[in-house]
Structure 1
Amino acid sequence: MIKKAYADTSGGQCHYRYQSGPSDPVVFLHQTPSSSQMFEAIMQRLHEHSTYAIDTPGFGQSFNPKHVPTMAEYSAWLVEAMHSISINRVHLFGHHTGSSMAIQIANDHPDLITSLTMIGPFIATSEEKEEMRKTISSDWGPVEDGSHLMKVWNLVGNGLGAKGNIELHHREVLDALRAHESGHQAHEAVWEHDFMKFFKSVECPMLVMCAPDDVLYPFFHRANELRPDSVSIEIKGKNLEPDLDPDAITEHFKSFIGNL
Structure 2
Amino acid sequence: MAPSVVKKGYADISLGQIHYRYALPTTAAPKTPIIFLHKSASSSKSYENLIEYYVSQGHPCYAPDMPGFGGSFDTELDPSPPYSTTWYCSIFEEVFRQLGLFAAGKKVHLCGHHSGSTLALEMGVTYAEYIKSITMIGAGLMNEAERLEMKSHYFAPFNKPVMDGSHLLKTWNYLQQGEVAEDLELMQSELLDHARAWLGRMQIYGAVWNSDRQKNFMQIKCPMLALCARDDVLWQYFHYVNELRPEVRAEEVGGGNFEEVLAWKECAKFMDEMYAEVGA
Q: TM-score category by the smaller chain?
A: over 0.9
CA distance in 2, matches of 1:214, 1:14: 28
* Alignment equivalent of 2:33, drawn from 16, 25, 36: 25
Cα displacement string for residues 127-184 of structure 1 (whole angstroms, at most 9, x for unaligned residues): 111111121143211112211111100111214x310200000000000000011111
1:123 has 2:148 as partner:
no
Q: How does 1:97-246 map to 2 (within 5 A)?
A: 97-136=115-154, 137-159=156-178, 161-246=179-264
Q: % of aligned pairs identical?
A: 38
| Whole-angstrom CA distance in 2 between matches of 1:85 and 1:13 | 13
For 1:229 and 1:139, the matched residues in 2 are separated by: 39
**In 2, distance between residues paired with 1:75 and 1:139?**
26
8 Å contact kept, 2:83–2:203: yes
Residue 200 of structure 1 deviates from its aligned partner by: 1.0
Structure 1 residue aligned with 2:16: 12
Match of 2:177, SS state, is helix
Equivalent pair of 1:139/1:184 in contact (CA under 8 Å): no
Aligned partners of 1:118 and 1:209 also within 8 Å: yes
Gaps of 5+ in 2: none
**Unaligned runs of at least 5 residues, structure 1:** none
Instruction: Check the 8 A contact 1:138/1:187 in 2, yes or no.
Output: no
How far did residue 198 of structure 1 move?
Answer: 0.4
Summarize deviations over 1:201-241 as a string: whole Å, max 9, x none: 11111000000000000010110111122111100000001
In structure 2, distance between residues paired with 1:116 and 1:255: 13
Letter of the aligned partner of 1:256 in structure 2?
A: M
1: CA distance, partners of 2:36 / 2:250: 19
In the alignment, structure 1 residue 258 sits paired with structure 2 residue 276: yes
Cα distance between partner residues in 2 of 1:4 and 1:68? 29
Distance in 2 between the 1:9 and 1:83 partners?
A: 11
CA distance in 2, matches of 1:68, 1:173: 26
Q: Deviations over 1:105-126 (max 9, x none)?
A: 1111100100011100121111
Q: Identify which range, 48-57 or 2-11, moves more after superposition.
A: 2-11
Matched, 1:71 2:85: yes
For residues 59-86 of structure 1, give each alpha carbon's deviation from its aligned partner in whole angstroms, at most 9, with x where no partner exists. Answer: 0001112233210010110111111111
Q: What's the CA shift string for 1:35-59, capped at 9, x where partnerless?
A: 0000001111112211111101110
- Contact 2:158–2:170, Cα closer than 8 Å, also in 1: no
What amino acid sits opposite 1:10 in the alignment? S
Number of matched pairs? 259
Which amino acid is 1:79 matched to?
A: E
- Calculate the TM-score normalised by the size of structure 1: 0.97
Superposition deviation, residue 8 in structure 1:
2.4
Tell me, in whole angstroms, the C-alpha distance in 1 between the residues paired with 2:260 and 2:24: 20
Contact (CA 8 Å) 2:22, 2:61: kept in 1 or not?
yes
Larger Rg: 2
Matched, 1:84 2:84: no
User: Matches of 1:176 and 1:70 in 2, distance apart?
Assistant: 20
Give the AA of the match of 1:142.
Answer: P
